[in-house]
Protein backbone atom coordinates (compact mmCIF):
# COMPACT_ATOMS: atom_id res chain seq x y z
CA UNK A 1 0.00 0.00 0.00
CA UNK A 2 1.32 3.44 -0.92
CA UNK A 3 1.61 6.29 1.54
CA UNK A 4 -0.54 9.36 1.05
CA UNK A 5 0.88 11.82 -1.47
CA UNK A 6 2.82 14.76 -0.02
CA UNK A 7 1.75 18.21 -1.13
CA UNK A 8 4.47 18.32 -3.81
CA UNK A 9 3.36 15.08 -5.43
CA UNK A 10 4.02 11.41 -4.77
CA UNK A 11 7.53 10.61 -3.55
CA UNK A 12 9.17 7.80 -5.56
CA UNK A 13 12.64 6.42 -6.11
CA UNK A 14 12.63 6.39 -9.92
CA UNK A 15 10.40 7.67 -12.69
CA UNK A 16 10.86 5.69 -15.90
CA UNK A 17 9.85 7.48 -19.10
CA UNK A 18 8.82 4.93 -21.72
CA UNK A 19 6.96 1.66 -21.21
CA UNK A 20 8.17 -0.64 -23.96
CA UNK A 21 10.68 -3.47 -23.45
CA UNK A 22 13.52 -1.33 -22.06
CA UNK A 23 11.36 0.76 -19.76
CA UNK A 24 9.41 -2.20 -18.40
CA UNK A 25 12.55 -4.28 -17.85
CA UNK A 26 14.16 -1.41 -15.96
CA UNK A 27 11.01 -1.07 -13.85
CA UNK A 28 11.01 -4.81 -13.15
CA UNK A 29 14.65 -4.80 -12.03
CA UNK A 30 14.12 -1.75 -9.82
CA UNK A 31 10.86 -3.10 -8.44
CA UNK A 32 12.58 -6.33 -7.47
CA UNK A 33 15.16 -4.20 -5.63
CA UNK A 34 12.30 -2.88 -3.46
CA UNK A 35 12.29 0.50 -5.18
CA UNK A 36 9.15 2.57 -5.67
CA UNK A 37 8.83 3.17 -9.40
CA UNK A 38 6.47 5.02 -11.73
CA UNK A 39 6.45 4.27 -15.47
CA UNK A 40 5.01 6.94 -17.76
CA UNK A 41 4.13 5.71 -21.24
CA UNK A 42 2.09 7.25 -24.06
CA UNK A 43 1.32 3.96 -25.83
CA UNK A 44 3.40 4.59 -28.98
CA UNK A 45 6.01 1.80 -29.09
CA UNK A 46 8.43 1.84 -32.01
CA UNK A 47 7.48 -1.70 -33.01
CA UNK A 48 3.71 -1.13 -33.04
CA UNK A 49 3.46 -1.85 -36.79
CA UNK A 50 5.49 -5.07 -36.62
CA UNK A 51 3.49 -8.28 -36.82
CA UNK A 52 5.90 -10.27 -34.62
CA UNK A 53 8.86 -9.92 -32.29
CA UNK A 54 11.56 -12.36 -33.41
CA UNK A 55 14.89 -13.36 -31.85
CA UNK A 56 13.69 -12.88 -28.26
CA UNK A 57 14.79 -15.84 -26.14
CA UNK A 58 11.94 -17.77 -24.53
CA UNK A 59 9.24 -16.23 -26.73
CA UNK A 60 8.27 -17.81 -30.03
CA UNK A 61 7.48 -14.85 -32.30
CA UNK A 62 4.70 -13.13 -30.32
CA UNK A 63 3.00 -9.96 -31.49
CA UNK A 64 4.65 -6.93 -29.84
CA UNK A 65 1.45 -6.04 -27.99
CA UNK A 66 1.19 -9.56 -26.54
CA UNK A 67 4.76 -9.51 -25.24
CA UNK A 68 4.34 -6.00 -23.86
CA UNK A 69 1.12 -6.91 -22.05
CA UNK A 70 2.83 -9.91 -20.45
CA UNK A 71 5.60 -7.59 -19.28
CA UNK A 72 3.11 -5.09 -17.86
CA UNK A 73 1.40 -7.87 -15.93
CA UNK A 74 4.76 -9.04 -14.60
CA UNK A 75 5.83 -5.66 -13.21
CA UNK A 76 2.44 -5.38 -11.52
CA UNK A 77 3.70 -7.81 -8.88
CA UNK A 78 5.98 -5.09 -7.50
CA UNK A 79 5.78 -1.52 -6.24
CA UNK A 80 5.57 -0.23 -9.80
CA UNK A 81 2.85 2.11 -11.01
CA UNK A 82 2.08 2.13 -14.76
CA UNK A 83 0.67 5.44 -15.94
CA UNK A 84 -0.71 6.14 -19.44
CA UNK A 85 0.55 9.68 -19.82
CA UNK A 86 3.30 11.89 -21.24
CA UNK A 87 5.79 14.11 -19.44
CA UNK A 88 5.01 17.83 -19.58
CA UNK A 89 8.11 19.03 -17.72
CA UNK A 90 10.91 18.02 -15.39
CA UNK A 91 12.29 20.50 -12.87
CA UNK A 92 14.81 20.38 -10.00
CA UNK A 93 12.93 20.10 -6.71
CA UNK A 94 15.85 19.86 -4.26
CA UNK A 95 19.50 18.87 -4.29
CA UNK A 96 18.52 15.20 -4.55
CA UNK A 97 15.09 15.36 -6.19
CA UNK A 98 13.44 16.10 -9.53
CA UNK A 99 9.80 17.06 -9.99
CA UNK A 100 8.15 15.27 -12.92
CA UNK A 101 4.83 16.68 -14.10
CA UNK A 102 2.63 14.80 -16.56
CA UNK A 103 0.43 16.37 -19.21
CA UNK A 104 -2.66 15.73 -17.10
CA UNK A 105 -1.12 17.65 -14.20
CA UNK A 106 0.01 14.85 -11.90
CA UNK A 107 3.40 15.26 -10.21
CA UNK A 108 6.04 12.98 -8.73
CA UNK A 109 9.07 13.82 -6.63
CA UNK A 110 11.77 11.41 -7.79
CA UNK A 111 15.36 10.69 -6.87
CA UNK A 112 16.18 9.65 -10.44
CA UNK A 113 14.76 9.80 -13.94
CA UNK A 114 15.39 6.95 -16.38
CA UNK A 115 14.81 7.70 -20.06
CA UNK A 116 13.67 4.71 -22.12
CA UNK A 117 11.69 6.66 -24.69
CA UNK A 118 13.23 4.89 -27.68
CA UNK A 119 13.39 5.92 -31.31
CA UNK A 120 11.25 6.65 -34.35
CA UNK A 121 12.22 5.41 -37.82
CA UNK A 122 12.16 7.79 -40.77
CA UNK A 123 11.53 5.59 -43.81
CA UNK A 124 12.83 6.05 -47.36
CA UNK A 125 10.52 8.34 -49.34
CA UNK A 126 9.27 5.64 -51.70
CA UNK A 127 5.53 4.96 -52.17
CA UNK A 128 4.55 1.59 -50.74
CA UNK A 129 7.28 1.45 -48.11
CA UNK A 130 5.10 2.84 -45.34
CA UNK A 131 2.13 0.67 -46.42
CA UNK A 132 4.13 -2.53 -45.90
CA UNK A 133 6.25 -1.40 -42.94
CA UNK A 134 6.43 -4.13 -40.30
CA UNK A 135 5.34 -6.88 -42.69
CA UNK A 136 7.16 -7.30 -46.03
CA UNK A 137 9.20 -4.13 -45.48
CA UNK A 138 11.50 -4.32 -42.46
CA UNK A 139 14.86 -2.99 -41.33
CA UNK A 140 16.85 -5.55 -39.34
CA UNK A 141 18.00 -8.92 -40.76
CA UNK A 142 18.76 -10.19 -37.26
CA UNK A 143 15.12 -9.54 -36.36
CA UNK A 144 13.41 -10.62 -39.59
CA UNK A 145 15.93 -12.33 -41.88
CA UNK A 146 15.27 -15.93 -40.83
CA UNK A 147 11.63 -15.77 -41.92
CA UNK A 148 12.63 -14.88 -45.52
CA UNK A 149 15.91 -16.79 -45.75
CA UNK A 150 16.85 -18.06 -49.22
CA UNK A 151 14.16 -15.87 -50.80
CA UNK A 152 14.78 -13.09 -53.37
CA UNK A 153 15.39 -9.98 -51.27
CA UNK A 154 16.13 -6.30 -51.83
CA UNK A 155 17.97 -3.82 -49.65
CA UNK A 156 16.64 -0.30 -50.25
CA UNK A 157 19.02 2.49 -49.33
CA UNK A 158 18.17 5.90 -47.92
CA UNK A 159 19.00 8.61 -50.44
CA UNK A 160 22.10 10.54 -49.46
CA UNK A 161 23.36 7.71 -47.19
CA UNK A 162 24.85 5.22 -49.69
CA UNK A 163 27.40 3.73 -47.28
CA UNK A 164 24.62 2.63 -44.94
CA UNK A 165 22.88 0.83 -47.79
CA UNK A 166 26.09 -1.01 -48.65
CA UNK A 167 26.63 -2.01 -45.04
CA UNK A 168 23.09 -3.37 -44.69
CA UNK A 169 23.19 -5.21 -48.04
CA UNK A 170 26.42 -6.94 -47.04
CA UNK A 171 24.77 -8.04 -43.80
CA UNK A 172 21.63 -9.22 -45.60
CA UNK A 173 23.71 -11.43 -47.92
CA UNK A 174 24.11 -13.83 -45.00
CA UNK A 175 20.42 -14.77 -45.27
CA UNK A 176 20.04 -15.06 -49.05
CA UNK A 177 22.15 -15.55 -52.15
CA UNK A 178 19.72 -13.37 -54.13
CA UNK A 179 20.11 -9.86 -52.71
CA UNK A 180 19.80 -6.70 -54.80
CA UNK A 181 20.95 -3.38 -53.37
CA UNK A 182 18.66 -0.60 -54.60
CA UNK A 183 20.53 2.69 -54.25
CA UNK A 184 17.57 4.74 -55.57
CA UNK A 185 19.84 6.93 -57.66
CA UNK A 186 22.87 7.16 -55.34
CA UNK A 187 26.19 6.19 -56.89
CA UNK A 188 28.72 3.95 -55.15
CA UNK A 189 32.51 4.06 -55.21
CA UNK A 190 34.75 1.28 -56.50
CA UNK A 191 35.46 -0.07 -53.01
CA UNK A 192 31.75 -0.46 -52.31
CA UNK A 193 31.21 -2.25 -55.64
CA UNK A 194 34.12 -4.61 -54.95
CA UNK A 195 32.81 -5.56 -51.51
CA UNK A 196 29.30 -6.12 -52.81
CA UNK A 197 30.57 -8.33 -55.66
CA UNK A 198 32.56 -10.38 -53.15
CA UNK A 199 29.36 -10.94 -51.16
CA UNK A 200 27.34 -11.84 -54.26
CA UNK A 201 25.12 -8.73 -53.99
CA UNK A 202 23.76 -7.20 -57.19
CA UNK A 203 23.67 -3.40 -57.40
CA UNK A 204 20.88 -1.45 -59.12
CA UNK A 205 21.28 2.34 -59.08
CA UNK A 206 18.00 3.18 -60.85
CA UNK A 207 15.42 5.39 -59.17
CA UNK A 208 12.65 3.43 -57.47
CA UNK A 209 9.12 4.57 -58.30
CA UNK A 210 7.19 2.46 -55.82
CA UNK A 211 6.68 -0.90 -54.14
CA UNK A 212 3.76 -2.71 -55.73
CA UNK A 213 1.65 -4.69 -53.30
CA UNK A 214 -1.62 -6.56 -53.25
CA UNK A 215 -3.69 -7.59 -50.22
CA UNK A 216 -0.92 -6.31 -47.96
CA UNK A 217 1.84 -8.40 -49.57
CA UNK A 218 4.78 -7.19 -51.63
CA UNK A 219 4.69 -8.09 -55.30
CA UNK A 220 7.42 -6.15 -57.10
CA UNK A 221 9.77 -3.20 -56.92
CA UNK A 222 8.85 -0.83 -59.78
CA UNK A 223 11.53 1.43 -61.23
CA UNK A 224 11.06 4.91 -62.69
CA UNK A 225 11.25 3.74 -66.29
CA UNK A 226 8.50 1.18 -65.68
CA UNK A 227 10.35 -2.13 -65.31
CA UNK A 228 9.73 -4.25 -62.22
CA UNK A 229 11.74 -6.56 -59.97
CA UNK A 230 9.88 -9.35 -58.12
CA UNK A 231 10.99 -9.61 -54.49
CA UNK A 232 9.75 -11.50 -51.44
CA UNK A 233 10.73 -8.75 -48.98
CA UNK A 234 12.48 -5.38 -48.92
CA UNK A 235 14.85 -4.40 -46.12
CA UNK A 236 15.29 -0.65 -45.74
CA UNK A 237 17.79 1.76 -44.28
CA UNK A 238 16.01 4.11 -41.89
CA UNK A 239 17.06 7.42 -40.38
CA UNK A 240 16.41 7.37 -36.65
CA UNK A 241 15.19 10.09 -34.32
CA UNK A 242 14.46 10.24 -30.61
CA UNK A 243 10.73 9.77 -30.02
CA UNK A 244 10.66 12.84 -27.81
CA UNK A 245 12.84 15.93 -27.35
CA UNK A 246 12.81 15.48 -23.56
CA UNK A 247 16.48 14.55 -23.32
CA UNK A 248 17.51 17.67 -25.25
CA UNK A 249 15.22 19.85 -23.17
CA UNK A 250 16.87 18.47 -20.05
CA UNK A 251 20.30 19.33 -21.48
CA UNK A 252 21.56 15.78 -22.05
CA UNK A 253 24.47 15.38 -24.44
CA UNK A 254 23.72 13.60 -27.74
CA UNK A 255 25.73 11.89 -30.46
CA UNK A 256 25.54 14.32 -33.38
CA UNK A 257 27.10 12.35 -36.27
CA UNK A 258 27.62 8.83 -37.57
CA UNK A 259 25.51 5.65 -37.35
CA UNK A 260 24.51 6.40 -33.73
CA UNK A 261 23.48 10.01 -34.45
CA UNK A 262 20.65 11.16 -32.14
CA UNK A 263 21.62 8.75 -29.33
CA UNK A 264 21.68 10.14 -25.80
CA UNK A 265 25.24 10.02 -24.47
CA UNK A 266 25.81 8.14 -21.21
CA UNK A 267 28.72 6.75 -19.27
CA UNK A 268 29.27 2.99 -19.02
CA UNK A 269 26.65 2.69 -16.27
CA UNK A 270 23.89 4.67 -17.99
CA UNK A 271 24.30 8.13 -16.44
CA UNK A 272 23.67 11.02 -18.81
CA UNK A 273 25.43 14.37 -18.61
CA UNK A 274 22.59 15.69 -16.40
CA UNK A 275 22.63 14.87 -12.71
CA UNK A 276 19.93 12.40 -11.71
CA UNK A 277 19.03 11.50 -15.31
CA UNK A 278 19.83 8.06 -16.71
CA UNK A 279 19.10 6.47 -20.11
CA UNK A 280 18.71 2.90 -21.34
CA UNK A 281 17.85 0.85 -24.41
CA UNK A 282 17.78 2.28 -27.92
CA UNK A 283 17.50 5.78 -26.44
CA UNK A 284 21.25 5.55 -25.93
CA UNK A 285 22.21 2.58 -28.17
CA UNK A 286 20.16 2.70 -31.42
CA UNK A 287 21.46 -0.61 -32.82
CA UNK A 288 20.09 -2.77 -29.99
CA UNK A 289 17.60 -5.53 -30.80
CA UNK A 290 14.48 -5.77 -28.64
CA UNK A 291 16.04 -8.31 -26.30
CA UNK A 292 19.24 -6.25 -26.21
CA UNK A 293 17.31 -3.13 -25.23
CA UNK A 294 15.70 -5.04 -22.37
CA UNK A 295 19.03 -6.48 -21.26
CA UNK A 296 20.74 -3.11 -21.37
CA UNK A 297 17.92 -1.56 -19.35
CA UNK A 298 18.31 -4.23 -16.68
CA UNK A 299 22.03 -3.49 -16.41
CA UNK A 300 21.41 0.25 -16.15
CA UNK A 301 18.72 -0.34 -13.52
CA UNK A 302 21.16 -2.37 -11.42
CA UNK A 303 23.68 0.49 -11.59
CA UNK A 304 20.99 3.05 -10.76
CA UNK A 305 19.86 1.04 -7.73
CA UNK A 306 23.48 0.80 -6.55
CA UNK A 307 23.85 4.55 -6.95
CA UNK A 308 20.75 5.20 -4.84
CA UNK A 309 22.05 2.78 -2.20
CA UNK A 310 25.37 4.62 -2.07
CA UNK A 311 23.51 7.91 -1.62
CA UNK A 312 21.56 6.39 1.27
CA UNK A 313 24.73 5.11 2.94
CA UNK A 314 26.46 8.47 2.60
CA UNK A 315 23.43 10.25 4.07
CA UNK A 316 23.26 7.80 6.98
CA UNK A 317 26.97 8.20 7.66
CA UNK A 318 26.71 12.00 7.63
CA UNK A 319 23.73 11.89 9.99
CA UNK A 320 25.61 9.61 12.39
CA UNK A 321 28.62 11.92 12.34
CA UNK A 322 26.45 14.91 13.24
CA UNK A 323 25.01 13.27 16.36
CA UNK A 324 28.25 11.63 17.48
CA UNK A 325 29.58 13.35 20.65
User: In the prediction, which pLDDT does 324 show?
Assistant: 63
What is the DSSP annotation of 75-124? HTTSSEEEEE--EEEEEEEETTEEEEEETTS-EEEEEEEEE---EEEEPP
- The pTM score is 0.89
Angle 183-241-287 (CA atoms, 0-180°, nearest 5)? 70
pLDDT for res 60? 86
* The 3-state secondary structure of 256-321, one letter per residue: CCCCCCCCECCCCCCECCCCCEEECHHHCCCCCCHHHHHHHHHHHHHHHHHHHHHHHHHHHHHHHH
Q: For residue 96, what pLDDT is reported?
A: 81
- The CATH fold assigned to 124-236 is FAD/NAD(P)-binding domain (3.50.50)
CATH 3.50.50.60 domain locations along the chain: 10-120+239-323, 124-236
Q: Contact 25/297 with Cβ under 8 angstroms?
A: yes
Q: Which residues of the chain have pLDDT under 50?
A: 1-7
CA dihedral 126, 130, 136, 142 (to 10 degrees): 90
Q: What is the pLDDT of residue 316?
A: 82
Helix axes 162-172, 190-198, angle to 10 degrees: 10
Q: What is the 3-state secondary structure (H, E, C) of 11-56?
A: EEEEEEECCCHHHHHHHHHHHHCCCCEEEEECCCCCCCCCCCCCCE
Residue 160 phi/psi, 5-degree rounding, is 90, -5
Assigned CATH for 10-120+239-323: 3.50.50.60
Q: What is the reported pLDDT for 325?
A: 64
- Residue 49: per-residue pLDDT: 80
- 63 DSSP assignment: -
**pLDDT single digits (tens) 78-106:** 999 999 999 999 998 767 899 999 999 99
Contact (CB, 8 A) for 59 and 8 = no
What is the pLDDT, as a whole number, of residue 92? 83
Quick one: pLDDT at residue 61?
Answer: 85
Distance CA 13, CA 37 (A): 6
Taking only the tens place, the pLDDT of each residue in 16-43 is 999 999 999 999 999 999 999 999 999 8
Residue percentage of the chain with pLDDT more than 70: 95
Q: How many residues does the chain have?
A: 325
Amino acid sequence: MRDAEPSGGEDVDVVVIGGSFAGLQAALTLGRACRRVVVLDDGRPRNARASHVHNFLGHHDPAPAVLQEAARTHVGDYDVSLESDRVARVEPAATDRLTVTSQDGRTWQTRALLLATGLDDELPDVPGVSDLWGEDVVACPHCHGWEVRDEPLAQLGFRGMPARGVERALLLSRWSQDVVLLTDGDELDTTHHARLRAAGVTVDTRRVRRLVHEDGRLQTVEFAEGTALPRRAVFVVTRQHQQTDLARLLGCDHVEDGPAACAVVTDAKGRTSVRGVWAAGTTTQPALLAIGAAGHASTVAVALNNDLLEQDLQAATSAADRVRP
